[in-house]
Structure 1
Amino acid sequence: MAVVYPDNLAALGVCRALGVLGIRVTVLSSDRTAPGQYSRYATRVACPAQSGEAELIDFLVEFGRAQQPNPVLFLTDDASIVALHRHRHLLENYYRFPLAPWPVLRRIMLKDQLYRSLEGVVPLPRTCVPIHERQLADVAGDVGYPALIKPLLRCLSDSADLNGPPFEKLFGSKAVRVHTFTALTDAYRTASAHGFRVVVQEEIEGPPTSLYSLGLYAARHGGVKATFTSQKLGQVPADFGDGLIVRAVRAPELIPLGERVIRHVGYYGIADIEFKWDARAKLFKLLDINPRPWLWINLLTACGVNLSYAAYLDALGRPINPTLFDQRDFQTRWISMRGFLVSLIRSLGAKRHDGDLLGLLRHCRGQRIGPLFNVKDPLFRMFLSPGYWRDAWLQASREIQRLHTSPGAISGHPLLNE
């Protein structure tokens, strides 16, 4: 069995990628609005919410103990990776992890560790890690303007407040652009007040189309076995957001960079390595590494690179034949209709009439897929479920209430200090 947790769009991609091959898939879900549980390829099992960590771990132990042989566990967001790896020594008695251990994950998930580890290995943006506000003047001199402020890990802070939002909820995007020392200081103070440690980084000039991605699977023994290259044509928010339109492309120059990174840090598992083309330096610079399935991982599967299956095989100790994971499509686009709706609302709210949406629509031409719709797996059970509508209403109510209260900060995690 493959067990997927938590339920989200990435989980749906994993469920479909494995289920279509006849692999039994269970998705663990505490949220009736999440899509994976409604896939015809998955069986839903209700589980405790991640906020109750002790209860969740007890549940996972009992569920895993009841399965024979041990299932393969796929983790689909950063928060679950951090929370469950605190208990990996226990969970490995009941699950197979197709993912490197925490000391390796820590080096690539925490941005200060990531950039420090890869200095001199691959091209990187100029980056500084201020410890105190009094260091900001020197940081600004080293990085220059415009500068970007990014959290070490946007789902975690050092605050003990359990009810606050992640970094992008607090600031409205995954990073904050500043043009002056005053703006840099204000953003740093706001982040620090909510428990977020940050890096300050040079901004590589260029539109979203300068953003490229290398998706890969690196085996526990034997290096990179599967690769997929893609290009962002749009994102939401427009500057620092999630993929809105992503196109499969031919970018072989990313593969040796990714292999060098994987070899250097000793990572194995699924990974999405993000790069941006620096037109002035005439090279790709690494921005981030996501060691998990991501929002548009179903694009890879549609183009012949089923990373979830490669991970499944490796977790069972079976050989991975790289020829079975060759990228055979360099045209198909992945498009988020929800992202288009968010972009439209933002444009109307800002009263923009600069043709941004028309430009995005031009990128939609040609063969395309989305995160939800699939002819073989239409998810009709979602809209027939009373639980879906109940949880959707409760979530909307909480979000409206949040808008009328001051944002807090999210819970601290000892792993950040280990």
Structure 2
Amino acid sequence: MKLKKTNPAIIFNCYFNGLSIIQELGKNKIKCIAMDCVRDIGTFSKYAKYQKCPDPLENEDGFVHFLYDFCKKLDSKPVLFPTNDHWAVAISKNKKLLSEVSIPVVADWEAVKILINKDLFYEIGTKNNYLTPRSWNLDDLNNLNEDNFPIVAKPIYRRISSNEDLKYITENMDRLRFNVLKNKDELNAFIKREEKFINKLIFQEYINGMSDRMYTVGIYANDCSEILGLFTGHKVRGYPADSGDCVVGECMKVPDYVIENTKKIVKDLKYSGIAEFEYKKDSISGEFKLIEVNPRPWSWIGITPACGVSLPLIAYKDSCGEKVEFIESNLKDHSVKYVKIVPDFFNCNRNYKKDYHKWTMSFSEWINDLNTEKIVFAEFNAGDWIISIKVLYDTLVGILGALRNSIFKHKNTK
């Protein structure tokens, strides 16, 4: 089938990462289909039409068959943008089949499998000096001494496509996403307490610092593993503060050796598609360590168009056969910020009081902290007023629900 500029785009998992892609492609007159198993925020965008589909987390075969049949009926091959792990896994594993009727923006399964399974990636990372932290599996823990602590316990993977009901496992992997263990006593207690899930976890050297020590190298690589778009940025605040997803991010340069390390991995794994390389800069040593690689768009990819390197648009154009020259973000540090303004407001005015008091701010301090040359608001962007109304409505419902629960709890304690 001949590729055309009129190829539609199908975006999967339509949370804010998916919404950002929908808005960027939609603004560029590209037809978007928001395909998800639930009505997440991106499915309400004025730039997309919602299409419900099976959930690959528990029905991979059903999802793949549905997607194949859906794409086959379209006039042009759609470009596929999976934005969460289990969607990327399902499409990557079935890439050859789906390529008959679509253009998947995802790497081959050989590469995705390595990146999704952190134990496998860290093993390869140690062998090839990918700047990954030192890691241990369950059998290695008896050999640890006190000098190895603190260590972190975290899931080998949090989400993967399957034909089983994995929601119980997924919920617990989310719960166990980041556990700092300070000594052998804490380690032994943790192993005993989490015995049911312990074989799904990996143990790793702790890199000092909160979530503001996290740096992102975001890339798009073509089928020859040539990087055509490169963004570098810094997580200003996450929630929870120690390890949470990005709530405020900004453009920021990283050292050359970090960029070279990223390029080496892309070439070594023959990677193609969008990816986020997450590095953490140790607050004591200043070293950058590669924490993980997400083989798909990440939560704040919406900053990249404002930085002159629109990874969604670059990926779409290259996938549709248009010639794309390499471009990278080269703006002044801190000059562009991406903000999920509603959660950041509540975090800084309330939630960080218990989580990380240093980030608690008054309203005026919060406003001043966000001041910069250009700002991208996740909830209020691209003239997509339906999204803004939906966010404000959900926020109001949440506040009223919390007040009702508080009043009910107060009455019951009298």
Equivalent-residue separation in structure 1 for 2:185 and 2:82 (angstroms): 40
1:17 to 10, 21, 24: 24
Equivalent-residue separation in structure 2 for 1:163 and 1:273 (angstroms): 26
Pair 1:151 & 2:155 matched: yes
Inter-CA distance 363–280: structure 2 relative to 1 (3 Å threshold):
same
Is the Cα–Cα contact under 8 Å of residues 134 and 204 in structure 2 kept in the other structure?
yes
My pick for the range that moved more, 112-121 or 292-301, is 112-121
The residue type equivalent to 1:308 in the other structure is: P
Pair 1:299 & 2:307 matched: no
1:378 to 385, 388, 391: 385
The residue type equivalent to 1:278 in the other structure is: D
SS of corresponding position for 1:358: coil
Q: How much has 1:190 moved relative to structure 2?
A: 4.6
Query: CA offsets per residue over residues 215-264 of structure 1, 9 Å max, x none?
Result: 11111125111111111121111111101221111225232221112112
Equivalent-residue separation in structure 2 for 1:266 and 1:84 (angstroms): 17
Q: How much has 1:159 moved relative to structure 2?
A: 12
Equivalent-residue separation in structure 1 for 2:213 and 2:387 (angstroms): 37
Equivalent-residue separation in structure 1 for 2:161 and 2:197 (angstroms): 7
Structure 2 segments unaligned to the other structure (5+ residues): 1-7, 406-414
Counterparts in 2 of 1:58-97, with a 5 A limit? Answer: 58-97=65-104
2:171 to 142, 150, 166: 166
Equivalent-residue separation in structure 2 for 1:347 and 1:317 (angstroms): 47
Query: CA offsets per residue over residues 320-341 of structure 1, 9 Å max, x none?
Result: 1124x54446411112234322
Inter-CA distance 327–188: structure 2 relative to 1 (3 Å threshold):
farther
Query: CA offsets per residue over residues 301-347 of structure 1, 9 Å max, x none?
Result: 11111111121122223321124x54446411112234322565544
The residue type equivalent to 2:175 in the other structure is: L
Is the Cα–Cα contact under 8 Å of residues 126 and 143 in structure 1 kept in the other structure?
no
Is the Cα–Cα contact under 8 Å of residues 59 and 161 in structure 2 kept in the other structure?
no
Structure 1 segments unaligned to the other structure (5+ residues): 401-418
Please name the residue that 2:188 is paired with: 185
Inter-CA distance 347–248: structure 2 relative to 1 (3 Å threshold):
closer
1:364 to 346, 370, 374: 370
Equivalent-residue separation in structure 2 for 1:380 and 1:280 (angstroms): 41
- Give the structure, 1 or 2, with the largest relative contact order (CA under 8 Å, sep 6 or more): 1
Q: How much has 1:196 moved relative to structure 2?
A: 5.1
Is the Cα–Cα contact under 8 Å of residues 155 and 173 in structure 2 kept in the other structure?
no
Is the Cα–Cα contact under 8 Å of residues 82 and 105 in structure 2 kept in the other structure?
no
Pair 1:283 & 2:287 matched: yes
SS of corresponding position for 2:235: strand
Query: CA offsets per residue over residues 194-220 of structure 1, 9 Å max, x none?
Result: 375222111111343322111111111
Equivalent-residue separation in structure 1 for 2:146 and 2:182 (angstroms): 14
Pair 1:128 & 2:136 matched: yes
Q: How much has 1:137 moved relative to structure 2?
A: 2.1
Equivalent-residue separation in structure 2 for 1:291 and 1:11 (angstroms): 14
Number of residue pairs aligned between Structure 1 and Structure 2: 382
Q: How much has 1:355 moved relative to structure 2?
A: 4.0
Please name the residue that 1:45 is paired with: 51
SS of corresponding position for 2:14: coil
2:205 to 184, 202, 206: 202
Q: How much has 1:192 moved relative to structure 2?
A: 4.6
Please name the residue that 2:112 is paired with: 105
Equivalent-residue separation in structure 2 for 1:158 and 1:126 (angstroms): 30
Is the Cα–Cα contact under 8 Å of residues 157 and 196 in structure 1 kept in the other structure?
no
1:336 to 327, 337, 340: 340
The residue type equivalent to 1:372 in the other structure is: E
Equivalent-residue separation in structure 2 for 1:155 and 1:38 (angstroms): 24
Equivalent-residue separation in structure 2 for 1:159 and 1:93 (angstroms): 23
The residue type equivalent to 1:194 in the other structure is: F
Equivalent-residue separation in structure 2 for 1:64 and 1:157 (angstroms): 20
Q: How much has 1:136 moved relative to structure 2?
A: 2.0
Query: CA offsets per residue over residues 52-81 of structure 1, 9 Å max, x none?
Result: 434322321221110132111110100112
Inter-CA distance 143–65: structure 2 relative to 1 (3 Å threshold):
farther
Is the Cα–Cα contact under 8 Å of residues 128 and 143 in structure 1 kept in the other structure?
no
Equivalent-residue separation in structure 2 for 1:282 and 1:373 (angstroms): 36
2:252 to 242, 249, 253: 249
Pair 1:316 & 2:320 matched: yes
Equivalent-residue separation in structure 1 for 2:12 and 2:390 (angstroms): 22
My pick for the range that moved more, 39-48 or 295-304, is 39-48
My pick for the range that moved more, 174-183 or 159-168, is 159-168
Inter-CA distance 233–122: structure 2 relative to 1 (3 Å threshold):
same
Identity of aligned residues (%): 24
Inter-CA distance 175–365: structure 2 relative to 1 (3 Å threshold):
same
Inter-CA distance 196–22: structure 2 relative to 1 (3 Å threshold):
farther
Pair 1:259 & 2:266 matched: no
Please name the residue that 1:416 is paired with: none
SS of corresponding position for 1:231: strand
Is the Cα–Cα contact under 8 Å of residues 6 and 28 in structure 1 kept in the other structure?
yes
Inter-CA distance 70–143: structure 2 relative to 1 (3 Å threshold):
farther
